[in-house]
Amino acid sequence: TYLMLSTPEVCEQVYTQEGGVLDGVIAGKQLVDCATLRPEDMASLAARVRERGGTFLEAPVSGSKAPAAQGQLIFMTAGDEDTYKQSALELEAMGKLSVFCGREVGLATKMKLCVNMVMGAQLAAISEGLALADDLGLDLGDVQAVLDSGAMASPMLKLKGPLMAKR
């Protein structure tokens, strides 16, 4: 069973309500949870699933609606390695990459935190660079072209740079 819920509160409710996820966990049941939660939240969910005889794979994703629709998500996983191996075909259908970060639930969330930090730093650098270029009277289209053609070229720059230039 795959889950991708929006908040820790929603996850807790869906797992614990009467007739919820935990009520359906029996020996051998495999859960792959793709939510982005705190590492300790994932560990708590995993422990409760294991107590009922199930297996748990934490699998937060990098990517938004467009990559999801195109099967281009990136899955960062941790937890039950056999569940990871048995989920390979489904993860491949939904994403372009999946990595197994280890057996300790929480490691995948920590990986996502690191990835998001780098993306945030890149977005900040793009916005600061474009703001400076604008203040200096440079053509933002030319700045974008130079960045897109050099070492800084990236999908993030190609997507967000023009939007930032338009404010």
Three-class SS of residue 55?
strand
For 72-89, give the DSSP string.
-EEEEEEE-HHHHHHTHH
Catalytic residues: 112
CA atoms in the 13 A half-sphere facing the CB of 108: 33
Distances (CA, A) of 127 to 67, 107, 123, 154, 158: 23, 30, 6, 14, 13
pLDDT of residue 167: 85
pLDDT of residue 159: 85
For residue 163, is pLDDT > 90? no
> Which residue in this structure is represented by tokens 């937890």?
79
Query: How close are the terminal C-alpha atoms of the chain, in Å?
Result: 41
Mean pLDDT, range 68-82, rounded to an integer:
96
CA distance 52 to 30: 11
Q: Confirm if 25 and 53 have CB atoms less than 8 A apart.
A: yes
pLDDT of residue 157: 87
DSSP strands (E only) in 59-153: 61-62, 73-79, 95-100
Give 91-108 pLDDT, tens digit per residue: 999 999 999 999 999 999
